[in-house]
């Protein structure tokens, strides 16, 4: 019996299984990162913002916002927002929630998302410290203008 008569060799089967497992691992890692960067509170509501918290919003500076996209192993396009947040205030920040407004060519909001750039971080953002963050999006509107969103802090926790 020749090699072709036996079907797939065990080495090829093992390679196929390993590739499938690697693809599954990448998919699960991306899903976990997406959940951390855009998780919602248990109640699904934004906490009340005090006057002190609202006054601190200008101290949180978002810069170097860049959009990119990649095709995952399923053939779907995943869009990324990468940027930096700097704490220019005098307090340690444990949590910050931001509203991301994506616009169309007429400057109308076509997608509004809430993101949590400090999610999964064990230590607070210290005064003067800058943190790089990434938020992922599975689906973007067709009429989105391809520009980074407008970022507006909506909650901060010290």
Give the whole-angstrom CA distance, residue 114 versus residue 39.
Answer: 9
pTM metric for this prediction: 0.68
Strands 109-115 and 95-103: antiparallel
Domain 1-158 CATH assignment equals 1.10.3470: no
Q: Best-predicted range by mean pLDDT among 23-32, 33-42, 130-139?
A: 130-139
Give the SS3 label for residue 19.
helix
**Tens digits of residue pLDDT in 55-79:** 999 999 999 999 999 988 888 889 9
Predicted pLDDT at 86: 97
Backbone φ, ψ for residue 81 (5° rounding): -115, 120
- Please tell me which residue, 84 or 23, carries the higher pLDDT value: 84
Q: Looking at the predicted structure, is the pLDDT value of residue 114 above 60?
A: yes
Annotated domain spans of the chain: 1-158
In angstroms, the CA 124 to CA 60 distance is 13
């Amino acid at each position: 019996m020749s090699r072709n008569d036996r079907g797939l060799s065990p080495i090829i089967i093992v390679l196929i299984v390993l590739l499938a497992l690697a693809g599954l691992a990448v998919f699960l890692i991306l899903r976990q990162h997406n959940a951390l960067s855009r998780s919602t509170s248990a109640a699904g509501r934004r906490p009340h913002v005090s006057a002190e918290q609202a006054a601190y919003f200008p101290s949180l500076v978002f810069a170097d916002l860049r959009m990119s996209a990649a095709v995952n192993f399923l053939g779907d396009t995943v869009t990324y927002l990468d940027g930096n947040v700097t704490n220019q205030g005098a307090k340690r920040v444990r949590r910050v929630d931001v509203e991301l407004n994506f616009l169309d060519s007429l400057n109308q909001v076509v997608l509004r998302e809430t993101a949590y750039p400090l999610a999964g971080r064990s230590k607070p953002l210290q005064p003067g410290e800058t943190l790089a963050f990434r938020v992922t999006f599975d689906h973007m509107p067709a009429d989105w203008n391809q520009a980074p969103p407008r970022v507006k802090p909506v909650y901060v926790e010290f």
